[in-house]
Structure 1
Amino acid sequence: MKPSYDAIVVGAGSMGMSAGYELASRGLHTLLIDAFDPPHNQGSHHGEPRLIRHAYHGGAAYVSLALRADERWLELERMTGEKLLERSGVLNMSDPAIYSYDVRLHDALTHSVVIERLDAGEIRERWPGVQLADGYEGLYEPNAGYLYSEKCVAAYRRAALEAGAVLLTNTFVTDIVPDAGGVTVHTKQGSFTAGKVLISAGAWFKSLKPFVSLPIRPIRKVVGWFETEGTGFDAGKFPGFTLGTRDGGYYGFPSIDGKGLKIGRHDTGVEWQPGEELAPFGFYPEDEGDLRRVLSSVMPGAAGRLLSGAVCKYEMTPDEDFIIDTHPVHRNVLLAGGFSGHGFKFASVVGEIAADLLERGVTRHDIGLFSLSRFASVYQG
């Protein structure tokens, strides 16, 4: 393995693997380094699937990025011959006292997203398994759906290697040292130098202190798959969904291949530190309890026997917006992190953005929301 490259990607999960493919496909000699062997269960991309929506909270920039991400996922499908995206539709439901869809609907329509606004009665009529209380409202996107996350990472891995990238797996980065000649990344397997480096370390950013010190909190999260009654919750009949209630925010998926309806909770969670053992599903009573409680209330036909459970990690920023910006001291080091449990759908376009910034220093995409400057009072580089 040669010691020098045009670009090095530290952390080859969803964002890093996408960026590695983009860089290599543009002719840059690219090295990807990961502490594990992606796709793996040590980050945030395992336990398929992941939602992809276009009518997005957070402003018009997110809607634009979601639409571009969708295009890029389809390109990856065509290139690899792998089915990655299912257009199941996505039903967003909320108590208006918790969250109003007015701004999201406006942004979506401005970008020509196909969408319907529904009241609770219309939702109950269309999907009888959803026993939503009067007063709730929903947005339904028929062209949204879900991504097979592990297949996506594996597809980008194959594409990156075919484009000429080099992948170094099961390799922890011990130090990153910029100097006049570029940036040297030190590992126990050797040291490697490049003109530019992307750090996309997910929940493991804290292991790179003090070189990188970001306001990102890794959070232990759980998801469960529950047995359903009848076929009303099966893939092909039931959409992906989000649910905002006074007791928390949830998301989920239809039962795919009889594996059960998948549901997770977006808020709450136990903080985790790199190197700590991640408690298995069921370690805390609320792991199953929170999920079963909301299912029993809103989707009682999907509140059957727990078929399986899994744990993963969120990497939360204080405002839940991403970080995509250059290091405040070393301008040839790009940081991409803090994807806060809603970032996977954007991995395809984040890879494009990262390659733009490393290759040319600019991108056509609006990433102003993701600047480090918004954390100026708490960042210490």
Structure 2
Amino acid sequence: MDSVRKKLLSEADALRPAAVRMLRAITGYSELPLREVRTSETLASFLGERGFRVRRGVAGMETAFRAEFPFGRGKPSVALLCEMDALPGLGHACGHNVVGVASACAAAALASAGAGRVRAGRIVVLGTPAEETGYGKARMVGEGVFRGIDAAMMVHPSSRRHVDKGTLALHKIRFTYFGKASHAAAYPEHGINALNGVLMLFQGIAALRQHLPDTVRVHGIVTEGGKVPNIIPERAQAWFYVRGEDDSELADAVRRVRECARGAAKATACRLRMEEGPYTLSAMRVNPVLAASYRKALSLLGLPESGDPPNRNRGSSDIGNVSRVVPALQPNVPISSGARVEIHTRSFAEATTSPSGIAGMMEGVRALALTAYDLFADPSLAVKAWKAHRT
């Protein structure tokens, strides 16, 4: 390992106390999507104190920020992404507390170690709100925030260490059924039960699942089902997520789910309203050049990759949209000591601040810093990453 990389790892390790403090503070905030005010300020202030130029309110979102540290003119521009939001009722059960701190500290370590040594390019740290609603990064893509970026990366906590774990494409639909109210005991024949429309939608989708590919996921909840039992519900609503391996598979599944919804409306004599969006999330394209660089970092750190297949137990994320416009990478870092913990559970939230969780976060800091540094040390890597991206 050369002297610059040794310096980089030394700077990363020196940030551990600050990283742990931020992790615990952000965990305590557990702010919901687009409300990550204290979390955003914690990360942005940390970067500002270390020489980054910080701009808040990016892409029309109060909690989004952009922090830049220029080494010199020219390329590359490497973005590290800070997720920030928590889950309702579960806190940081998706580990965005780990994500945000790891990216911010990796950027700070690289800025400190690279100052005076790296002659061109810039580090960009993006505070990306509302990942849980699939909103923040998708909006930032639409607003052109990633223009001029040559690579975007972050780590995500998991039970396993994966480099090229992808995500599924995702589309969200709200189905609202409208019927006619009446007394449920005295005059039920005069009513039209909107809740029956929702129930038949669930039954139709349950029957449909037998005929969908294994990589398609359809899951939903009832968000409104009536007011009291003695009134025939005149309005009922369900909210569904539809996921697929790629955009084409997703589009076909969404079409078939919509047909189930229309069939349920017809069968129950209800009127149906479908509300889409606001964003469809793309399946992630893992950039092979960035993945190779991250694997090199793991090798330098003496960390073996998990042998489990990376195409299992996948969710969706708005980083998929980022990966369609710039070369992107989102490896997994382990936050449990052998025991399996699953995202969106209380045990996962607890694991993020455990000793293993802190170790996983610091692994992310070191590996991200090394990977980003590779792009500055060898600018041809960015060219190769773009070539692979366009292939």
Shorter-chain TM band: 0.3 to 0.5
- Higher Rg of the two aligned structures: 2
Question: TM-score if structure 1 supplies the norm length?
Answer: 0.33
TM (norm. structure 2) is 0.32
| Higher strand residue share | 1
